[in-house]
Structure formats: C-alpha cells, structure tokens
Amino acid sequence: MTDTAETRARRLLRRATAGVPEDDYPVTHIADLPARHARATDWPGWVPDAVLAAVTATGVDRPWEHQVEAASTAWSGHNVVVATGTSSGKSLAYQLPVLSRLATDGRATALYLSPTKALAGDQLRSVSDMDIPGVRPARYDGDTPQSERGWVRDHARWVFTNPDMLHRGILPAHPRWARFFRGLSYVVVDECHGYRGVFGSHVALLLRRLRRIARRYGADPVFVLASATTAEPAEFAGRLLGADCVAVTDDASPHGARTVALWEPPLLGELAGENDAPVRRSAGAEAARILAELVIEGARTLAFVRSRRGAELTALGAQRILAEVAPGLADKVAAYRAGYLPEERRALESALLDGELLGVATTNALELGVDISGLDAVVIAGYPGTLASFWQQSGRAGRAGDDALVVFVARDDPLDTYLAHHPKALLERPVEAAVLDPTNPYVLAPHLACAAAESALTVKELDDFGGDAARSVLDGLVADSLLRRRPSGWYWTSRDRPHSDVDIRGSGVEQVAVVEADTSRLLGTVDGAAACGTVHPGAVYLHRGESYVVDELDLEQGIAFVHAEDPEWSTSARDVVDIEILDTVEKRTYGGVTVNLGYVAVTSRVVGYLRRLPSGEVLDHVPLDLPEQVLHTRAVWYTIAEPLLCGADEGPGTRTGVEPARVPGALHAAEHAAIGLLPLFATCDRWDIGGVSTAVHADTGEATVFVHDGHPGGAGFADRGYAAFVPWLTATRDAVISCECPAGCPSCVQSPKCGNGNEPLDKAGAVAVLDLVLAAVGEAAAAHDHSDAHAAEDSTGTT
Ligand SMILES: [Zn+2]
Ligand SMILES: [Zn+2]
C-alpha cells in the first residue's frame, strides 16, 4: 500500500456517506487513531510450572507487559487495579497470581466478584478448562442448587460470585465459611468501573465489610481489580476498596488503527416534536442506513443502539434496505436479543467470526461477557453515557495489522450535540473518573447495621467506614433501637438479620416491587422516591430488554402491577417540582453570582406522561393524578443578582442583560442544557439528576438554577458539578450554541422529562444567562489572581 492509497476505513466511510446530499452532509469530524503495537515479555519466574503449562496451553505464548506488571504487583502483596482497553487480557493479570497461590499453598482460597452472573460464569469456565490440580473453582450464586452449596463452602478454593450473593449469602453466614475466610488470599473485583453512583457506594461498603470479616479470621487478602480505561484509576479503586491501590494503565496489547467519524443526522422538515420543535432523523434510523452500506462492502459491523427495541428497529431497517439493493445480503443482518444465556452469546460470536452474519445491531448489554473484537466497523448510535463505554464499544473494531471504522451517530440530546461538534471532548479527553460516595448516610446506615449483625462493630473499625460520618449514623441507629451501644462496641439487637431488607442496587430507601400480574412474578424493584416517575400507570417499563406496561401503581402496598406488552411508543413522566434549601455546605461568591453546594428537599408530583415514537414524534400527553414525593438530597445551584441579570450592572465588556419577561425561559433552558451536560463530568445519566430554575427563589431571593442528585442523600453528582462548575457551564453554553435549530429542540434545550412541557424555553436567553455567569466567575477569578499577586509583593516588601 502506498502513502496516497485510501485506507480501508476511509473507503468504508465514503461508502456510508454515498448518496447523501452535499448540504445535508452529516459528518462533523474525522479522526485517525494510530495502531498500537504489542509489547510482549517473559513469564515471571514466580509462576509455578503447573500453572505455566496450563496457561500456555490456552494459546498464550508470551504475556504482554501490563499483564505481568499487574500480576507481579499482586503477587508481591499490593492491591492493584489494571485499567486497560477491551480485549487487553485483563483476566490473565489476575489468574496468574491467584492460580499460582492456590497451586503452591494448599490452604489458600480466593474470591472472584463480577457485577453479572453471566460474566462470572465465563470466567469460571475459563479457569475450569485449565484443569489445574487442586484449584477447585466453583460458582456460588442464586443459581447454585442448595445441594451443592455445602460442598462449595467446605471445599471450593476459588469461589465465583457477585456482590448480591456476597452481601446476602456469604457475609451473614461467615462462621460456616470459616475455612474459606481463614485462607482468603486474593479477592478479584472484575469490571469494577461499573461500581459507580449509588450501586458503587453500596459495593464500596460491602468490600469494607468483607475485609473486616476476613481480618476476624486472620486473613488480609490482596485485591486485584479489573477496569475499563478510566481517569484516576488508583484514586477510584482506593475509594472503592477503602485501601491503597496501585494502578497499571500502560496497555501493551496490540490494536489496529481506527478512523473515527462523528455524525449528526440532519433536521427533518416534515415532522414536528413538542411545541413544534424540529426533529432530527433518529440515530437508530441513521445507523440502519450506515449498517446496510457497510454490509454491502463486506465489513463485519456491530451497531450499538440504546434500547433493545431500537436495536431491533435498526436491524429491521438495514434488512429492508438490503432486500431492495442487495437481496442476498438481507439475512446477514440480525438484532442481538436477550443474550443472557452463554450458548446464545457463543452462537453470536461464531456467527460473526465465520461470516454467517455481517451486521449485528445490539444494546449496550453486549458490553459484558461477549468476546467479540477485531471487527471492521462499529456504529455507536447515541452516546453510551460514559467515555469508558464509548471506548469499550469502539474497541471492538480493529485488529492488529488492519484498520477499522468507528462511526458515532449523535442522538437528539444536548450532550450528543456537544460531542458531535467538540471532537476533542470525545476523542482526546481522559475518561471520566467514576463517582461514588460511601459516606452517604442512606447507604452507610444499612451497611453498618449489617456489619454489626455480622460481628459487633468496634470503635477501632469505624475509620474504615468513614470515621465521623459512621459515628453519627451509628448514633441514629442506636436512637432507633436497631443497635445497642456497649463498652466493647455496637451490637445488632434483633434476632432477624437486616441483610434481606437491604437492596444493594437500590438507594437505601423503601422500594416498590414490580410484579407481573398474571404470573405474580417479581421482575424487579424501583426506588420508592422514583416510582411515580418510572412505574406510573401507563408507563412502559423495560426489564432485561423485555417490555412491560404498568396497569396499576399501589404506593401503600409498594407494588406496581405490569403485563408484558411491547407498544411502539416509549413514555416519559412529567412532574412539577419545588425545591427547598436545607443547608448550604459550600459557597463561592463572584460579584453578583454565587455558586453553592448543599442539602435540599425536592418535592415533586407526577402530573402526566408523554407518549413518543422512536422517530421523536410526540403522540400525546396523558394526565395523571399522583401524590407528592419528597426527596432529600444534594444539589449544586447558582444565583444571579437582579442588577446583573437585567443588565443594570454594566461591568467591563459588552455584556447585556436579559429582559425581565424572558428570564424564566432563559433560566429554564439553561437548566435543561446543564442537566444534559453534567454526565460529561460525572459518571451519571441525565435520569440520575434533576433540576429546578426560578426567576426568584424563596430561599435565595434571586434568580436561581438548581441541579440536584436524583437519589436520597446524593451519589456525588452535584458535588462533581460544583467542583467542575466552569468547564461544565462552558460546555453547556457551547452545546446550546452548536445546535443549528432556530429556537430550541431536544438536541439543545428541550428535556425529555420536563414537568412543564418544555415551556417556557428561551434558547438565546440561555446563552445570555450562561455568558453572564461565566463572565462574572471569570472576572472574579482574574481579580483574585491579581490580588494574590499583590499580596505576594506586599509580603516580600515587608520582610
Ligand atoms: Zn436545538
Ligand atoms: Zn423543564
């Protein structure tokens, strides 16, 4: 190949854009990412022969450098997190030290934790297949028959389980696991980047409980964590473990070159959304066309679509196009369904490998536990929520020695719009740090109760659980007579253990059970505080990719009854919200602008819901009559003094104010866009947070915009917004300006869950408000630097 020859990826991209009219050209940016070359090294000397023979028999000749670095760090007794890309062989990094220990010390045991049963099953199979004498790996989860559980407790040396089972099944029964805990040498925490937000806070406390119980049996296990690439992995792992952790991040596995194209579907003239806003062609429909073109080129392609229904529509759309232009290829495209059974996943892997399938549309569920890489192209329809997921998905494309294409198709959402126009934010930014907060009292209280029930808590142990935060939560548990304080520590008072009442995937408040009415089958639970918004009558409820419709919500009983149904629309609840400031924890003042972090009470009432087609078209608004809900959580808010807002306070520069009549719409639009952009800085979904804006707020007396966590006690999202305030609002402003719609649309300032029907919204006013706030903060910061410099001069002058 000569230098001037078109790469395969560029040729694929040209094909995907063939026939697109010049003035609707959707590609906003193209970037070429270079290939990464493999760096292999020798096996470490400490690996025993039996383990070496078993590992090399799986086809690994020589390990990559990062695998050995992580394995040797763990072997030398240090906690380690290996944070590298998809298919970089993270399993070997923990298999080497664990198997070596089990092979050389007959009493040693190990624990493996993964967020899903499917992944644990895969990892167990790969260890079992090595068949190393004496290792005795076994799974222990909800599917393990009672008749086998005794054997696992008494004899298994490497137990594969999940956080739920550790919490409910293993820790509360620790005396029966005495042999296992005495020998516990290693704990593997796989896919640990998934432990963020409230779930992450639960797992962080669960791991502290695990370390505490292990210590009671004289064990001090080394933790080996595997993560997708993430910012500050050592800090994140340290927060998750509550102990120091070394990070290994220099990926030495090979990867082919990739061309990444950012793609923004055009606005359509003929359809109208809410308040007659323009509608873009949907990301799913665009992905279907791209998928079809790539399949015609013979490219093995995976398309990631946000919902299962969306994935099915995308596959169907591609099949329709192919049936017309290349009928022989239509059956080479499929949607990847469910995918929880290992056989199904294996079948998909081999179909894509041997060319039986060329194009597959799937949901993000494929991220876990499917071994597919080295594809020719990946289409990502809609930002998957985090950069970690984006790189995980795009990492499926490209193999050593061959280049590949990645197409990111923006949805009609402010964050997607921003990314399509700011390629650096997508391609050159370090992956966001995962956020969790193990000191959230709503999460801490049930874990301290569980810990005390497992074994009385001593004063010395409180530091592991957050010190002062733990002490005040314990005082509350004692006051509620759940715990008893004795000189030797805190004791659980009841006969019944608290574990079964604690849902580690929930927020620590009362849960509403989602039950299929016909079969009485429990499908799942939702937070009581969120129930009116997610399982109101008429809501479309998705459970593991299956669709249900809610018939009845009984808040008193805590049950939502549903039936299986897959309508073509989705639903989004509308609520009216009021917010009260309970306590301001931090505050910064910049001229007429203040930025605050603190505790708030959010009172909301769901008043109806919208039914929306996949195209974005709104069918109708259905009114509802539901009671008020109160949420106590954390929020970040800014206020703007009236003279500044209305332009009377002309500072330096040429800023102008916002006319009083336009203020509500301007603040409201600025609030919506800010909610859409916070996930760029905190690992949350826009559904994890909410907002309120008002021209005069009762507690501040000024124009105020709030963005609050959606979970009781908060999960750290508002805190991230406070810490990253300027870059966050700058990105918000840029996203609004980037959208070419005339007066606001879902890609910039409309919100899919607005309680006020997206009215009033003032797009230009939002830009003016954000400019005012950023200018005030910027000037104050400059003045501050200036006065600092003066202070420094003064102090040198006097000495
Ligand atoms: Zn717009
Ligand atoms: Zn709104």
Which range has the top average pLDDT, 143-147, 197-201, 345-349, 386-390?
143-147
CA 667 / ligand 2 centre spacing (Å): 10
pLDDT at 794 over 90: no
Which range has the top average pLDDT, 79-83, 529-533, 558-562?
79-83
pLDDT bin (cut points 50, 70, 90) of residue 707 is: very high
Q: Which of residues 81 and 425 earns the better pLDDT score?
A: 81
pLDDT at 369 over 90: no
pLDDT of res. 655: 55
pLDDT bin (cut points 50, 70, 90) of residue 304 is: very high
CA 744 / ligand 1 centre spacing (Å): 4
pLDDT of res. 509: 59
d(CA 606, CA 671) in angstroms, rounded, equals 19
CA 758 / ligand 2 centre spacing (Å): 5
Q: pLDDT tens, 568-580?
A: 888 888 888 899 9
Percent of the chain with pLDDT over 70: 93
pLDDT of res. 1: 44
Q: Which of residues 350 and 637 earns the better pLDDT score?
A: 637
CB neighbour class for 116 (10 Å; exposed up to 12, middle 13-18, buried from 19): middle
Residue 438, helix vs strand vs coil: coil
Any idea what DSSP says for residue 652?
S
Q: pLDDT tens, 175-184?
A: 999 999 999 9
Rounded to an integer, the average pLDDT of 726-753 is 89
pLDDT of res. 113: 97
pLDDT of res. 147: 94
Q: pLDDT tens, 45-88?
A: 999 999 999 999 999 999 999 999 999 999 999 999 999 887 78
Contacts of 771 (CB under 8 A, 6+ apart): 655, 733
CA 606 / ligand 2 centre spacing (Å): 13
Pairing of strands 333-335, 359-362: parallel
CA 590 / ligand 2 centre spacing (Å): 26
What the block records as the tokens of 206 is 């669960």
CA 148 / ligand 1 centre spacing (Å): 58
Residue 720, helix vs strand vs coil: helix
What the block records as the tokens of 627 is 């009671």
CB neighbour class for 411 (10 Å; exposed up to 12, middle 13-18, buried from 19): buried
CA 671 / ligand 1 centre spacing (Å): 15
Location of structure tokens 């040729």: 11
pLDDT of res. 784: 67
How far is the CA of 616 from the CAs of 281, 320, 594, 753, in angstroms? 8, 21, 37, 13
pLDDT of res. 337: 63
> Which of 169, 67, 160 shows the shortest CA–CA distance to 114?
160
pLDDT of res. 793: 36
Q: Which one of the ligands is nearest to 264 CA?
A: 1
Q: pLDDT tens, 570-606?
A: 888 888 889 999 999 999 999 899 999 999 999 989 9
Q: Length of the chain in residues, anyone?
A: 799
Q: Which one of the ligands is nearest to 743 CA?
A: 1
pLDDT at 91 over 90: yes
- Mean pLDDT value across the chain: 88
How much is the pTM? 0.78
d(CA 169, CA 154) in angstroms, rounded, equals 15
CA 697 / ligand 2 centre spacing (Å): 16
CA 193 / ligand 1 centre spacing (Å): 32
d(CA 124, CA 160) in angstroms, rounded, equals 7
pLDDT at 309 over 60: yes
Any idea what DSSP says for residue 433?
P
Rounded to an integer, the average pLDDT of 21-32 is 89
pLDDT of res. 587: 97
Q: pLDDT tens, 236-280?
A: 999 999 999 999 999 999 888 999 999 999 887 766 777 777 778
Q: Which one of the ligands is nearest to 767 CA?
A: 1
Q: Which one of the ligands is nearest to 736 CA?
A: 1
Q: Which one of the ligands is nearest to 742 CA?
A: 1
Rounded to an integer, the average pLDDT of 78-99 is 93
Any idea what DSSP says for residue 98?
H
Any idea what DSSP says for residue 278?
E
Q: pLDDT tens, 429-466?
A: 777 667 787 888 888 999 999 999 999 999 999 999 98
Question: What angle in degrees, to the nearest 10, is found between the helix axes of 663-677 and 414-421?
Answer: 70
Any idea what DSSP says for residue 397?
B
DSSP string, 365-378: GGGSS-----BSEE
d(CA 355, CA 299) in angstroms, rounded, equals 10
pLDDT of res. 367: 56
d(CA 607, CA 610) in angstroms, rounded, equals 10
Q: Which of residues 18 and 736 earns the better pLDDT score?
A: 736
Percent of the chain with pLDDT over 90: 57
Contact 101, 46 (CB under 8 A): no
pLDDT at 773 over 80: yes
CA 63 / ligand 1 centre spacing (Å): 50
Rounded to an integer, the average pLDDT of 628-644 is 93
Q: Which one of the ligands is nearest to 691 CA?
A: 2
CA 602 / ligand 2 centre spacing (Å): 14
Any idea what DSSP says for residue 44?
P
